[in-house]
Structure 1
Amino acid sequence: MLRNLLIFVFVVFFSFSLIAEESTDSNADAEAAALIEKAQEGDPAACYQVGVMAMQSGMPDKAKEILERGASNGGCECMAALGQGYEKGMFGEVDFKKAFDYYQAAAGKDFGPAMLKLGNMYREGNGVAQDYKMAGRWSMKAAKAGVRQACINLGLHYMMGWGVEKNLPKAYAFYYIGGVESEPAKLQALQIWGELSVEERLKGEQFMMSWEEIFPPAGK
């Protein structure tokens, strides 16, 4: 209910429409209004939350406006959301240059998801020259920042030898770590495992253990 109410308050606040709708939950109403007020003041967290809701509600221009406000106040989530908006054409035409710039700004503040996006752009050659080494570097930074998806990307790099020396034990380890959140990655890890020698399996397990501080095994 709160999510729908927040969307309603956002529409009222920004469109100045004379919409009549009653709410029986005054606390939720007050919370929604407070969130909108924080977003108007440029609070990064509020700007991100309201900006995403605006996008989901079909108001990309308003979403961009408030996300830009949050980004100007240092909001990494807002920067990354703007990057994705431009990368996917959510604000109109696709603009890889603006997407890259926003991701880079957020990555400069050690925001892992933005590092992951930069790695993707370099690997796919979107808006920049395709560069597997740079893709691998940004994916590694993202993984060290705790982004599991980046481990899947690194697994691909080590399996294919993209920008790094091909290394199946490391590929196995990264796919296995990423497989916690991805069934396809888990299956890929098992497939690679079946191709490894006993010695290579040991190396893969040892390499995986070196990442336990960032990605603790289940139960730890």
Structure 2
Amino acid sequence: MPLRWRTYLPEWMQNSLELLIPGFQIVLIIAGAILLHSMFKRVMKRAGNHYQFPHELTMPVTVVVRWLILLSAVLLVLERLGVSASVLWTAFTGFATVGAVAFFAAWSVLSNLFCAFLIFVVGPFRVGDHIEVLDTAEKLGAVGKVVDINLLYTTLEDSTAPAPGTLLQIPNSLIFQRVVRRWPQGQSLPENKQHTAIQALGESPAAPRPATFP
């Protein structure tokens, strides 16, 4: 019944429908994938501008979503071309297994990336702040000025190093496992947290005592 309208078409067109209909569906799938990817890029761009996300943070998310959309479009196209569902399911489970293994293998890297995203969204500190990363609130830890935050590390200019300019690179995941003491930008760092070693080196050394003999 639903295909009765075909009888009103010319015979040459009826033979072509077996190719035209799947071809039209494939074109729609490709166009939908391109449109979805374009919309997602716009959303990520607006979110990056609004929350001031760095390009290094939004780019991996965009790439992952792009590949997910591409993979979904390929599976739908193969289904329209007549590939059986069992073959598609086997291929999907195989890709999912490989992806799961790769995910656990790169968990430390991915955890740092996710923590970098949380740092930019939640804002426990910003570039220009002074922070101290502590094991506990009673023990001293790494202290310095935040000079950079990337996908893997938070970089501090060490405030207790013997010379200024010494950098500390702390994994982002470690930031969320430790107590963080913060001095916002514009607030001076306490003197006991600054370059005490430099001050000690700046003092003139005591003259050696002459040797005495009985």
TM-score using structure 2 length = 0.24
Compare the two structures and name the one with the higher strand fraction: 2
Higher relative contact order (CA 8 A, sep 6+): 2
Specify the structure having the higher radius of gyration (Cα): 2
TM-score using structure 1 length = 0.24
